[in-house]
Amino acid sequence: MALGARNPSGLVGVVSVSGGLRLYCADWEDELVKAYKQYGVTSRIPNLWLYAKNDSYFGPESAERLRAAFTDGSSIVDFSEIEPFNSKGHTLLIEGGMQWLGKLDDFLRKRGLPTWSYSNVSEVMKRLGLQQDEALVADYFTAPTPKAFAFSPSTKQFYYQYDGKYGLAANRDAAMAGCAKADITDCGIVMENNRWVGAGTQ
């Protein structure tokens, strides 16, 4: 936040997930609000802030104080409260990607910055011959990497898996295991991360 308030050359956006600085001293939150108010006076960089409603460090009241202080200086923030995540919510950045990555994609898309687009979703659906399930395919693009997408031409069913703990190979295996569990025998991996690897790949 402090760096963004300096508007350094080349910086095009600031994304803060569960952001702030929690100190164990008297009046720490009031001091943090004062700092955000100062940042808001000078910051001219687009900001996206994301907080879980059950964040154990910065709950809704604290997050709103920070937003109000920052925007009081005429800075603009895309501010989103995410539904309660896990038991304390402050692990949103590390463990809650599917809760906030879509909002990050929207933030990037609005500013012409690199991310996937809905034309990517339409292209994959056309390749697979799908007439529906657009939201599910979009969820795949939203999901964090590494990830893999398995598809059955005969049933038009698909399974995907993402999990950063185990790597791409393990996610391929898990996606294929979804087919096996459904007794589908003609599944194949057609996407790895956001790259098409199915039939017709050059």
Q: Is the pLDDT of residue 202 over 80?
A: no
d(CA 172, CA 122): 22
For residues 163 and 193, is the Cβ–Cβ distance under 8 A? no
H or E, element range at 118 = helix 118-128
Average pLDDT of the residues in 71-86: 92
pLDDT at 201: 67
Q: What is the pLDDT of residues 123-171, one digit of tens each?
A: 999 999 999 889 999 999 999 999 999 999 999 999 999 987 889 999 9
Q: What pLDDT is recorded for position 63?
A: 96
pLDDT in tens, 26-64: 899 999 999 999 999 999 999 999 999 999 999 999 999
The pLDDT of residue 74: 83
- Confidence at residue 64, expressed as pLDDT on a 0 to 100 scale: 96
Three-class SS of residue 86? coil
Domains of the chain: 4-110 (3.40.50.1820), 118-195 (no CATH)
Residue 30, phi then psi, degrees to nearest 5:
-60, -40
Rounded to an integer, what distance in angstroms lies between the CA atom of residue 49 and that of residue 69? 14
Instruction: Report the percentage of the chain scoring pLDDT > 70.
Output: 99
Question: How far is it, in rounded angstroms, from Cα 154 to Cα 3?
Answer: 53
